[in-house]
Amino acid sequence: MGSRQITEKSLVMLRSLPRLSLANIRDNPGSKKNTKRGRGQHGGDKHGAGNKGSGQRQNYMRLGYETGNNPFYLRMPHEPYYKGHHHRREYPPISLLEIQKLIDTDLIDITQPIDIASIVKSGLYNFFPDKKHFGINLTDEGVDSFAAKINIEVQWASEQVIAAIEKNGGVITTAYYDPHSLFLLKNPKKFFESGQAIPRRMIPPADVIEYYTSAETRGYLADPEKISQERFRLSQKYGYELPNIENDQCYTMLCERKDPRQIFHGLEPGWVVNLKDKCILKPKDDELLQFYAS
């Protein structure tokens, strides 16, 4: 029905209906409530409180009480011991002493940058990304006897560990890897055999991006100039002469870093590594190149 027809119909109705008066109008339902008088037949006598019991005597049972049986709100105990555990990241530890052992027994090559893949390859350390493990936590056991010049990349390191590594002329970086990248790094051969293109590494989540952007923790997203200042500050704090790394013959190796989006050294996101034919397939399409370089 059009609006013009509605108005026509309303006017017709209005002409035929009786005149509006107090007798043919009423309040909206629920707008007026009857006031209860505490006097007379209906409001008086027990005044709505019933007979005996807690109701009449204003001695009520507490909210939730179920007259003696175990109430609903007490049936399920509150034991929040693992609350939010699935949101927490874990960093399985490896000590500086173990790293020294790996170096001394030639299980790790210190002429190349060390990252989590090299440490897992040595066989003496393992981690499980599906169990919320986000990488290596380098602990300070063996900090006094550590004597190796290395370029190491871990996921978590304390100040003392950083000092021990820099005292020996090495470089330490803390870098974030998302779980998918960690699966790749843990077993690169398996990933290359799957024939997939190398993905980009994701940026750290909000609660930890500050850790990886600060020079104090040697974050991979921090400014190297600020890191140099922090190196000096740490040498003064822990009492060692800061070795001159610019004059070191391994300076280029020590300064070698992965790009924040790179997972493997020397391999870019987007490449497909063919182990069988011993070649690498690279994308040529502009859109793909743009995506993998973003």
Partner 1 sequence: MALMPFRTHVMRLVAQCGNYCTLQRSMAYKSAISLETLYPNSTLKLSTPSFTPNPNEKFSGFIPLNKLEIQYSASSGPGGQHVNKVHTKVDLRFKLSEADWIPAEIRDKMIELHSNKLTKEGYLVIRSDATRTQQLNLADCLQKLRNMIRDAAVTKREPSPETEEMIRQRHLKASRLRVAMKREEALKRAERRAPTVVDL
- List contacts with partner 1 (CB under 8 A): 140, 143-144, 160, 163-164, 171, 195, 197, 200, 203, 221, 223-225, 227-229, 231-232, 236-246, 254-257, 259-262, 265-266, 268-269, 272, 274, 277-285, 288, 293-294
Cβ distance to partner 1 smaller for residue 179 or 243: 243
What's the CA gap between 187 and 177, in Å, rounded?
14
Q: Measured from the CB atom, is 180 or 257 closer to partner 1?
A: 257
Is the CB of 98 or the CB of 268 nearer to partner 1? 268
Which CB sits closer to partner 1, 106 or 225?
Answer: 225
Q: How far is the CB of 258 from partner 1 (least distance, A)?
A: 9
As measured in angstroms, the least distance from the Cβ of 202 to partner 1 is: 10
**Which residue number, 96 or 127, has a Cβ lying nearer to partner 1?**
96
* Nearest distance, CB of residue 255 and partner 1, angstroms: 6
Nearer to partner 1, 3 or 290 (CB): 290
Whichever of 36 and 233 has its CB closer to partner 1, that residue is 233
For the CB of residue 294, give the shortest distance to partner 1 in the complex, in Å. Answer: 5
Q: How far is the CB of 124 from partner 1 (least distance, A)?
A: 23
Other C-beta atoms lying within 10 Å of the C-beta of residue 170 = 22
CA distance 291 to 286: 8
For residues 130 and 89, is the Cβ–Cβ distance under 8 A? no
Cα-based angle 141, 147, 148 (whole degrees, multiple of 5): 110
Question: Taking the alpha carbons of 204, 208, 213, 219 in that order, is the dihedral positive or negative?
Answer: negative
Q: How far, in Å, CA of 275 to CA of 80, rounded? A: 49
Nearest distance from residue 249's CB to partner 1, in Å?
15
Q: Give the nearest distance from C-beta 131 to partner 1 in angstroms.
A: 28
